[in-house]
Chains A and B, each alone.
Chain A
Amino acid sequence: MLASPYISAILAKEFKSDFRNPYVLAGAGLFLLSSLFVCYITVKRISAPALWVALYWIIVLFASFNTVAKSFQQEQRGRLLYWYTLVSPSHFIIAKMLYHGILMLLLSVVAVMIYSLLFEMPVDDVLIFWASVILGSTGIAFTLSLLSSIAAKAGNNLTLLAILGLPVLLPLMIVNTTLMKNAIDGLDWSVQWKYITVLGGLNIVSFALSMVLFPYLWRE
């Protein structure tokens, strides 16, 4: 199912429309950059790893609402009906989740680079650190894809997306911030593997749940 030509076609369409109108994506990137800089100006220096990790994920989380919300905002009602005649709902949501996953990966990798430029923090376990960045951002993307299609039904309200998303994302955030903090402190893999499995599990569960539930949103 994942290798369906429909999915790659929708993905290609998303990236093409981003390429044609890059200002939307650029806006999301600029939002990230500005909030990073606001934090830099106000906080100046961070010495505690826990605080460093918390601030990073708060910035990425709030940037992600903007990034993910925009994709469903662009889909007008007419175009959704057009999609409806072309593809199956599971293909559609999988493509959307993959698209958001790639965007969020890009966003969080750029964010971590700029962020560690501004706030210095020696990382002990680099491999697990990047695993945390990757799994955290894809988890956010998968979860928010379904929720942003819900918020789109209620008139594309960004506040609504935030209040729907935050409580559902908190479990992921708690596991992920612990994982990343432990990676900075260089804890042993025997401690870390269970956080990684839980994080991977949350990714899979939110992906699968969205696939199961989206067809019900699709029908109208």
Chain B
Amino acid sequence: MRLNTGFKIGAIILVFYTLIAGFLIEVPALDILNESIRNLFFHVTSWFAMIFLFIASFVYSIRHLSSGLEKHDLLAKVFAQVGIVFGIGGMLTGMLWAQFTWGRFWVPDPKLNGAAIAMLAYLAYIVLRNSLRDKMQRGRVSAVYNIFAFVMMVLFVFILPRMTDSLHPGNGGNPGFGGYDLDNTMKMVFYPSVIGWILLGLWISEVKIRLEQLTESES
């Protein structure tokens, strides 16, 4: 996998635009939320990037099972690893936001639980990979786990918030992004920042994949 230069420049511009504009633009002054609404550009978007990367990892796991190519296994692994990094970022920014709007770093909420469970499952995936020695076997076995866990997570994320009430914005009458709290200036930053973080995630993955391939050919 090789990304071209325009892609990388795009990633740099969009991420810096997010960082600068995200802190400087006018945001609607809402009760309780106040300036913490800016977290939309960092928290929500890093979850989007994480979901994108986990879907990519899932897709490459399926492709590995059908093709048996080592490259697909490598891609699945790296996308999962980078996805975990974005997931941790999203979790930390979310916890910070929760402390100042809900008053607690962590609350028992279905969305928060889902995020934590997904993190546990992907960390387990990494542990599983490292406990298998044979390369062919590692690829196949970890791909099976990745697919199994991903499907269960998707079911969970779709079913559970519909069954119980959630405090999280976008649930149970709470305004989400896209509700009245997202005005047009915020959209001007929100959409570019989604693309920016996804591009950055792909770029990190690309560097990591090339690094792994080099160490592979060295040994």
Q: Residues of A at under 8 Å CB distance from B?
A: 143, 146-147, 150, 153-155, 157, 160, 163-164, 166-168, 170-171, 174-175, 178, 194-195, 198, 201-202, 205-206, 209-210, 213-214, 216-217, 219-220
Contacts and interface: CB of A to CB of B under 8 A. Distances in A.
B163 A153 contact: no
Interface residues of B, number: 30
Interface of B is mostly: helix
A146 B123 CA distance: 18
Contacts of B151: 205, 209
A157 B148 contact: no
Nearest to A220: B137
B145 A153 contact: no
A178 B132 CA distance: 37
Given A154-B128, A163-B124, A174-B160, A216 B65 contact: yes
A143 B65 CA distance: 20
Given A153-B141, A154-B132, A164-B128, A171 B65 contact: no
14 contacts: A143-B152, A150-B144, A154-B128, A163-B127, A166-B120, A166-B124, A170-B113, A175-B159, A178-B163, A198-B163, A202-B155, A210-B148, A213-B144, A217-B144
A153 B148 contact: no
Nearest to B110: A174
Contacts of B148: 146-147, 168, 209-210, 213
A104 B156 CA distance: 23
Contact of B131 (A154, A170, A205, A209): A154
B145 A150 contact: yes
A157 B141 contact: no
B117 interface: yes
A89 to B, nearest CB: 12
Nearest to A205: B155
Given A160-B127, A213-B147, A154 B141 contact: yes
B71 interface: no
A219 B136 CA distance: 11
Given A163-B127, A164-B128, A171-B155, A194 B144 contact: no
B140 interface: yes
A163 B128 CA distance: 9
Interface in B136-189: 137, 140-141, 143-145, 147-149, 151-153, 155-156, 159-160, 163-164
Contacts of B132: 153-154
Contacts of B117: 167, 170-171
Contact of A216 (B140, B149, B152, B155): B140
Sorted nearest first, the 9 A-B pairs with minimum C-beta distance are A171-B156, A167-B121, A167-B120, A154-B131, A163-B124, A213-B144, A170-B117, A167-B117, A168-B152
Contacts of A157: 131
Contacts of A150: 128, 141, 144-145
Nearest to A162: B124
Contacts of A168: 121, 148-149, 152
A87 to B, nearest CB: 19
B168 to A, nearest CB: 16
A189 B141 CA distance: 41
B83 to A, nearest CB: 15
Contacts of B137: 153, 220
B131 A160 contact: yes
Interface in B101-129: 113, 117-118, 120-121, 123-124, 127-128
A43 to B, nearest CB: 21
